[in-house]
Amino acid sequence: MKRTELVEKIAKSIDAKDADLFSEFITEDGIFHFGNAEPVKGRENIRQYVAGFFTMIKNSTHKILDLWDDGKSMIWKGEVTYTRLDDKKVTVKFVNVFNMKNDMITDYLIYIDNTPLFAD
């Protein structure tokens, strides 16, 4: 699978709020670090964490603005529009860094300021 396709599939899994599918892109012992939150270790823990986050939003739409891939790591510069539970839309930019082992993510690092998502 091309790495661009991998990122597109990851984006679709998030926008579908499919924590099961999302977690399948990460190794069993992978690490997920969302913004300032504590890192989450292990695929099942990541699945549960992401499923919990999905309950806090109505939906999301991710865009790929740019991608870099050196074979060992990928960087996804993007934009996400969240629809909050009160139907307010919030758009923020982010950068994801993926440390890779073959086509699996070992470390998923999200650099984002999502405070507007939870602001009044």
Separation between Cα atoms, residue 77 and residue 64, nearest integer Å: 6
Q: What residue segments make up the domains of the chain, in order of their start?
A: 3-118
- The larger pLDDT score, comparing residue 22 to residue 71, is at 22
pLDDT at 1 over 60: no
- The larger pLDDT score, comparing residue 3 to residue 40, is at 40
DSSP-assigned letter for residue 111: E
Structure tokens at 39: 């890192």
Highest CATH level, class, for 3-118: alpha beta
Separation between Cα atoms, residue 106 and residue 81, nearest integer Å: 26
Separation between Cα atoms, residue 6 and residue 22, nearest integer Å: 11
The DSSP H or E segment spanning 58 is strand 57-69
Q: What is the average pLDDT score of the chain?
A: 95
State mean pLDDT over 55-76: 96
pLDDT at 25 over 90: yes
Separation between Cα atoms, residue 51 and residue 76, nearest integer Å: 22
> pTM for the full model?
0.93
